[in-house]
């Protein structure tokens, strides 16, 4: 049974006039009559009583009409769903991100705008370390990764990394810390001799490694007294006086009690946020990437 047969039947059933129905369908009357007969032959039932003066539905036709409406409505819904998917307005996206990512304004703003524009795309968000993100991207358990690192992440073939944000580093300290009130521009070398609190290595997503290299280039090995798995805990430890920490500038928008921020004026003291995705991606993924202005 073809959908056009059902559409022809519904139009004739609503008009009860083959001539009017044919004009509304944009075809001539003889082909319409032939298609209705073909449908009746296929169903092995008579759908219409026809005379020279009138057309009426048979009992079978009256029973068949609401079912035909339902089939056509469902077909229209299926077509609309396919078209939304093709436009990237429907589907499922799995996104992995580093711990600090939701605090970055460009990410929060883009997620908000995308969810409003494409409410039928389900976003499955997971906070996971860099190496887990890359593994998930490699076997397509993840569609998009958001990760930090000074250098581009080492990726398998078929994955693309784009710089989403590059920003300077800052220190976070208690207001009574020796570096809190200094009027001079800070460098990494100024942090020597002070205790550090940092992300746990598995959550640092390459950030810790870059910081260690900066410290060693400045002639010292940082003294890490405590590690944390999340940004809130990290800043809480700073507020409690355990030591200083180093963060990307965008995260200084957070203002917990007893924490102040100082910029580090040094060319290589920067953090990069990378947006990673497959070269061959779904329309929904392509639309999400484009929402960042990167593609």
**Per-residue pLDDT tens digits for 170-194:** 999 999 999 998 667 799 999 999 9
Same domain, 234 and 179: yes
**Mean pLDDT within 146-172:** 90
Q: What pLDDT was estimated at residue 202? A: 63
Question: What integer best gives the mean pLDDT of the chain?
Answer: 89
Same domain, 33 and 100: no
Q: What pLDDT was estimated at residue 295? A: 46
The residue out of 61, 86, 111 marking a domain boundary is 86
Same domain, 96 and 82: no
Find where tokens 């819904």 sit: 77
DSSP state of 30: H
Same domain, 74 and 61: yes
Instruction: For 232-269, give the DSSP string.
Output: HHHHHHHHTTS-BEEEEGGGGG---TT-EEEEB--TT-
Task: Tell me how many domains the chain contains.
Answer: 3
pLDDT-wise least confident of 113-127, 195-209, 226-240: 195-209
The residue out of 56, 86, 116 marking a domain boundary is 86
**Per-residue pLDDT tens digits for 195-222:** 999 988 765 556 788 899 999 999 999 9
Residue range of the domain that includes 51: 3-86
Which of 205, 198, 208 is CA-nearest to residue 129?
A: 205
Same domain, 45 and 142: no
Same domain, 266 and 277: no
Where residue 52 sits, what CATH number does that domain have? 1.10.10.10
DSSP state of 120: E
The residue out of 86, 110, 140 marking a domain boundary is 86
Residues facing 264 on adjacent strands: 186
Q: Band of the pLDDT at 245, cuts 50, 70, 90?
A: very high
Same domain, 119 and 250: no
**Mean pLDDT within 24-39:** 90
Same domain, 54 and 123: no
CA 133 remoteness from chain centre: 14
Same domain, 156 and 213: no
Where residue 124 sits, what CATH number does that domain have? 3.40.190.10
- Tell me the whole-structure pTM to 2 decimals: 0.70
């Amino acid at each position: 049974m073809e959908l056009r047969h059902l559409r022809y039947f519904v139009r004739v059933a609503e008009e009860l006039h083959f001539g009017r129905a044919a004009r509304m369908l944009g075809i001539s009357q003889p082909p319409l009559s032939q298609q209705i007969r073909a449908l009746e032959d296929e169903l092995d039932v008579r759908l219409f009583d026809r005379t020279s003066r009138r057309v009426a539905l048979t009992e079978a036709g009256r029973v068949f009409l609401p079912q035909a409406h339902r089939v056509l409505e469902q077909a229209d819904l299926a077509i609309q769903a396919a078209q939304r998917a093709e436009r990237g307005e429907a589907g499922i996206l799995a996104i992995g991100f580093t711990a600090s990512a939701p605090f970055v304004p460009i990410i929060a703003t883009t997620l908000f705008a995308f969810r409003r524009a494409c409410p039928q795309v389900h976003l499955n968000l997971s906070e996971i370390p860099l190496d887990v993100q890359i593994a998930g991207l490699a076997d397509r358990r993840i569609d998009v990764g958001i990760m930090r690192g000074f250098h581009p992440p080492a990726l398998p073939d078929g994955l693309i990394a784009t710089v989403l944000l590059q920003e300077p580093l800052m220190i976070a300290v208690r207001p009574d810390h020796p570096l809190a009130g200094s009027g001079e521009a800070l460098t990494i070398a100024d942090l020597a001799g002070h205790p550090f609190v940092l992300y746990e290595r598995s959550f640092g997503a390459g950030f810790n490694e870059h910081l260690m290299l900066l410290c060693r280039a400045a002639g010292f090995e940082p003294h890490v007294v405590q590690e944390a798995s999340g940004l809130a805990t990290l800043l809480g430890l700073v507020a409690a006086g355990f030591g200083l920490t180093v963060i990307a500038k965008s995260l200084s928008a957070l203002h917990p009690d007893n924490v102040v921020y100082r910029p580090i004026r040094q060319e290589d003291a920067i953090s990069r946020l990378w947006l990673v995705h497959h070269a061959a991606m779904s329309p929904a993924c392509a639309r999400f990437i484009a929402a960042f202005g990167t593609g």
